[in-house]
Amino acid sequence: MRVVLFKGVSAYGATRTFIDEAAAAFERRGYEASIIDVLPGMDLPAALRAEAEAGPIALAYSFVILGEFRDGDGRSIGQMLDAPHVLHHVDYPLTHIGRLNGASPDTAVLVIDETHVEAIVSTLGADRFAYVGFCPHAASGEPAPEAPDAEAFAAERDIPILFAGTFYKAETPPWANAPAQTRVVFDTALEIALSQEFVPALAAFDQALAAQGIDPRRSEMATARQSANLVHEQVRGHRRFELLKAAAKARLPLHIYGKGFESQLYRFKNVTYGGEVSLTEITQLMRRSRVVLNVNANFGAGSHERPLSAMLAGAAAASDHSRFYANAFDEGRDIALYRWMALPEGLEAIDALARDPEACFAMARAGRAKALAGHCWDHRVDVILAAAAAARAGPEHRLSA
């Protein structure tokens, strides 16, 4: 059987790399993997017709893109290929509500945080898509050779703590000029979300509605509740900046790679800045790092690829706590997890870890073993295949409107 995978424009080349790695994993399972690079101006319907004519297809797979695609006859990707289209969202899905609203009902949607399933189902409806389920990131890159001992580990890793990501911080909330009652709801939701280790943005928004005497379960509130993505983005920006400020205060020796830091370096005297690099280059830098520090972007029940890729690269992974990491790994043995409610203490422990070759090497070895055993693309292929099977097993192959 064949699988068809789609590449698109991607920051740092991340999802393009993911597609290449997913295709290789499918091929190791015996599938023939065909990649369509969706370039500006290309004739995508012609490319899809050629794939359909080449023989039976088990599934189509893409990150975020093409769920809303229709050809001239109104057919979705799944209908053109006569195969389930598995659409993987690796951001907060309500941030892409336009794409979700336009996605074909025959789509199988995967998300990287368990609470995102509820965000989609409760605002768009339980029957909106053929399937909605959780699929965490996979580690990216090739496994690094394991150092023979802590001394060799420290000698080959000249970066004490690596941080990869774009600079951003919370700006003026987009609801600042909204009517008073609307501002109260959003401000309350933001306060709820920031007051605890993790509150899903939609849950915080619903609590804020209820505090104003508004029942979030009313059908007419479904569209308004999709605006919870604005709360998510504010939390995400606020916590990213707070981490960087706390790291500067603690004088963590950070090596940062990513966009947007040039004008901000005066704030961070603790930083060695390397500029913007691709995901492939980051995975190579992880091989030179003792600790890789992650911010999980307010996905408190989900994943990011950075900790998993760090483990595969033989570094110790450190991240804010999430239910996924807590369930998949042994805290303190496989991974270091800090808490937002105790951020200075968490960063102090990460600094101590980076300065202790024996402890860092032990965690890096344990994490690498766990990543290899259960968190590579070979393991995520099973989840993608199960999502496609669930979509095929639906009561009918639903046509787009």
Cβ atoms of residues 47 and 53 within 8 Å: no
SS (H, E, C) 43-60: CHHHHHHHHHHCCCEEEE
Interval 104-127: pLDDT, tens: 999 999 999 999 999 999 999 999
Same fold, 2-138+379-392 and 150-170+234-374: yes
Q: What is the pTM of this model?
A: 0.95
Cβ atoms of residues 159 and 289 within 8 Å: yes
What are the residue ranges spanned by the domains of the chain?
A: 2-138+379-392, 150-170+234-374
10-residue stretch averages of pLDDT, the chain, 401 residues long? 96 96 98 96 96 97 97 96 97 96 96 97 95 98 97 98 96 96 97 98 98 94 95 97 97 97 95 97 98 94 97 98 98 98 98 98 98 98 97 59 28
Give the pLDDT score at 297: 80
Give the pLDDT score at 152: 98
Q: How many alpha carbons fall within 13 Å on the CB side of residue 80? A: 23
Phi, psi dihedrals of residue 280, rounded to the nearest 5°: -60, -40
DSSP one-letter code for 145: P
Give the pLDDT score at 400: 33
Give the pLDDT score at 377: 98
Q: Read off the tokens for 181.
A: 């009652």
CB atoms within 10 A of CB 83: 25
Give the pLDDT score at 396: 47
Give the pLDDT score at 398: 38
Closest C-alpha to 88, from 138, 44, 135? 135
Tell the CATH topology of 2-138+379-392. Answer: Rossmann fold (3.40.50)
Give the pLDDT score at 49: 97
Cβ atoms of residues 62 and 386 within 8 Å: no
Architecture of domain 150-170+234-374: 3-Layer(aba) Sandwich (3.40)
Cβ atoms of residues 234 and 173 within 8 Å: yes
Mention every residue, 6+ apart, whose C-beta is less than 8 A from residue 202.
94, 115, 118, 119, 122, 123, 225, 228
Give the pLDDT score at 174: 96
Cβ atoms of residues 129 and 108 within 8 Å: yes
